[in-house]
Structure 1
Amino acid sequence: MKQFKIDDVAKETGLTKRTIRYYEEIGLIKPPERSEKGTRLYTEEDIERLKKVIAAREVLGFSLQELQQFLTLKETIEAHHRDYRNATDKEQKQQELKEIAAGVREQIDMLEQKMKKMLEWKKELKQLHEKIQAILEEQ
């Protein structure tokens, strides 16, 4: 498995080394392995996760707290999926699925709110653009 130093990860993601370390500190990415000299060694998976964090932050407008909630929910779902087949208590399975479903619904609702706000902004910008075009055409 190929490993990357923080400088390489920074170049690949466009993040600063400080930001990468901060994301590690707040739990957006797991702490990477370290070399014998203590150098952080990241994997392709770490880089892909950082790219998803960047996309969620930039494109979807997620706050860092929202990102943490989303990633925690995703990890919970993945862990539940692994453990689901081995669990014998049907009621416990059902309860866990209900909790996961509620978390997913919460994420969907949050995205819908963000999309609604984005559409409102878009509408305002279009109206402003139309006004500017009308003024330009009058001249």
Structure 2
Amino acid sequence: MKWYKIDEVARETGLTKRTLRFYEEIGLIKPPERSEGKFRLYSEEDINQIHNVILAREVLGFSLQELQQFLALKETIRKHTESKDEIPPGQLTEIARSLEEQILMLEKKINRMQSFKNELNELLTHLHETIPTKEE
């Protein structure tokens, strides 16, 4: 397995080393392996996880708090699926409610983005209508 130092991961992801350490501290990414000298060593899987966090923040517009909630839900569901542990019905209902809230939040963001895109398209259309053609 190939290991990457924090400098390499920072270059690969476009994040600063400080941001990577912060994301680790607040639980957005799992703590990486450590070398004998206590340097952080990241795997390809770690880097993919960081790219997913970046995607969720930049593309989906998740706040750090929303990301933490999503990752906590995802981990709970993963543990339930892998271990076949029974989750009490009340907790399952709460998890379902949280997922429904996140889906609703995404739908609202998508609608706002679509509205903004429509506004930009209208401005562009108006601009194209006002640009003189070569024949004029």
TM-score range, shorter chain: 0.7 to 0.9
Greater CA drift, 126-135 or 92-101: 92-101
Q: Which of 103, 114, 119 lines up with 2:109 in the alignment?
A: 114
Normalising to structure 1: TM-score of the pair? 0.86
Normalising to structure 2: TM-score of the pair? 0.88
Pick closer, same or farther for the CA change 1:86–1:123 going to 2, 3 Å: closer
Structure 2 residue matching 1:29: 3-state secondary structure: coil
Question: Aligned partners of 1:54, 1:123: CA distance in 2, in Å?
Answer: 26
Per-residue CA shift, 1:79-108, capped at 9, x if unaligned? Answer: 12234x343xxxx53223212211110110
- Amino acid aligned to 1:9: V
Greater CA drift, 100-109 or 28-37: 28-37
Please tell me whether residue 61 in structure 1 is matched to residue 61 in structure 2.
yes
Q: Which structure features the higher share of helix residues? A: 1
State percent identity of aligned pairs: 57
- Cα RMSD after superposing both structures: 1.8
**Deviation for aligned residue 1:12:** 2.1
Structure 1 gaps, min length 5: none
Question: Aligned partners of 1:115, 1:125: CA distance in 2, in Å?
Answer: 15
Question: Aligned partners of 1:95, 1:3: CA distance in 2, in Å?
Answer: 42
Structure 2 gaps, min length 5: none
- Amino acid aligned to 2:31: P
Structure 1 residue matching 2:62: 3-state secondary structure: coil
* Moved segments of 4+, more than 3 Å: none
Question: Aligned partners of 2:88, 2:129: CA distance in 1, in Å?
Answer: 61
